[in-house]
Amino acid sequence: MRPLTYTGAKHLIPVANKPVIFYSIEAVAQAGIRELGIVVSPHREEEFKLALGDGSRWGLKISYILQHQPKGLAHAVSCAREFVGREPFLVYLGDNLLENGVADFVREFERGNANASIVLVEVEDPRSFGVAQLKDGQIIKVIEKPKDPPSNLAIVGVYLFDEKIFEAIREIKPSWRDELEITDAIQRLIDKGYRVTPHLARGWWKDVGKPDDMLHANRLLLERITTQIEGELDNHSQITGRVQIAPRAKIKNSELRGPLVIGEGAVIEDSFIGPFTAIGPRVTIRHSEIEYSIVMEGSHIDGIGRIDHSLIGRNVAISKKDRRPEALSFVLADNSQIKLI
């Protein structure tokens, strides 16, 4: 996600005009969990606190847990040991999106007697993922990015553990990446005879680790919206499909073709905004066309023939002197400035 992650955490990039991690927190709240510990690096702590607060908006209590060095996911889990105590707990990677949340997963774990459970999805090419091998409904082996996968079941970044996982983490060694891998800790549980069960996810799953993944997730989430017009729309503008326009947004002499969302205070003038686009708060777009894109807060686009398949950061300025038709694609960090001649 560089260069966007130079100026902000990946988990706070908005998808369908809402930070990615908000969807994860909503899923946790819907599962009935009320205490949430967020593992962050010290230089990102204040950024997350500012965005998420104490969790009260979701009916949660959020604590912030520092991971001083990026030593892997299993290490991140071990940082939360004091917070977790001896209770079973959910681990949810903040850049993962599951269409149907985790409520069923949590209830299934509570009814059973497993020491760990992991979410799996079927994928066409499992060689790029951690992969689980099953026997009689239990996981007997987990392999990270195998050249010859034993199944097509990829491991999603959502897990449930009891306290035995901390024992397993203590007993594993760093991988070739010099990180403590959660797959190694899970395999250690299996090797010691503990019960590790699978949960096959229903619906789609997205790990938004790359710009294309972020844009695809934006599309999937926009598919679920309903029309809601709260901003100003003049008589010379047209709307087709499902469109959400936030308060104080102004649409002038423009065509909007949904599904798309337009954030609070945005201005769209003499422009076309096409499907699967999220326009953030206080964005200004004039004399331009844009579709299948994310434009973040405070950006300004003027005189651009056509922007497609783009991820544009906060407070970006893009302008062009002539308006000859041309399709452009960008991945631009916050505060970028581009002038096309």
pLDDT (tens digit per residue) in 105-114 = 999 898 888 9
Instruction: Give the model confidence (pLDDT) of 150-204 as tens digits.
Output: 888 999 989 999 999 999 999 999 888 888 889 999 999 999 999 999 998 888 8
Check whether domain 227-340 has CATH 2.160.10.10, yes or no? yes
Q: Give the max Cα distance, the chain.
A: 70
Query: Given this model, what pLDDT does residue 115 score?
Result: 93
Architecture of the domain delimited by 4-221? Alpha-Beta Complex (3.90)
Q: How far apart are CA 316 and CA 294, in angstroms?
A: 12
Instruction: Give the model confidence (pLDDT) of 245-289 as tens digits.
Output: 999 999 999 999 989 999 999 999 999 999 999 999 999 999 999
Query: CA 218, 221, 224, 228 torsion: positive or negative?
Result: negative
Is the distance from CB of 206 to CB of 216 less than 8 angstroms? yes
- Contacts for 189 with CB less than 8 Å, ≥ 6 apart: 115, 116, 164, 165, 168, 196
Binned at pLDDT 50, 70 and 90, residue 326 comes out as: low
- Contacts for 8 with CB less than 8 Å, ≥ 6 apart: 47, 314, 334
Q: What integer is the mean pLDDT of 129-143?
A: 87
C-alpha gyration radius of the chain? 22
Domain ranges of the chain: 4-221, 227-340
Q: Which has the minimum average pLDDT: 60-69, 250-259, 302-311?
A: 302-311
Instruction: Give the model confidence (pLDDT) of 68-82 as tens digits.
Output: 988 889 999 999 999
Closest CA to 18 of 45, 44, 57, 56: 57
Instruction: Give the model confidence (pLDDT) of 218-241 as tens digits.
Output: 999 999 999 999 999 999 999 999
Query: Given this model, what pLDDT does residue 323 score?
Result: 58
Q: Which residue has the higher pLDDT, 119 or 135?
A: 119
* pTM for this prediction: 0.86
The percentage of the chain sitting over the pLDDT mark of 70, rounded to a whole number, equals 96
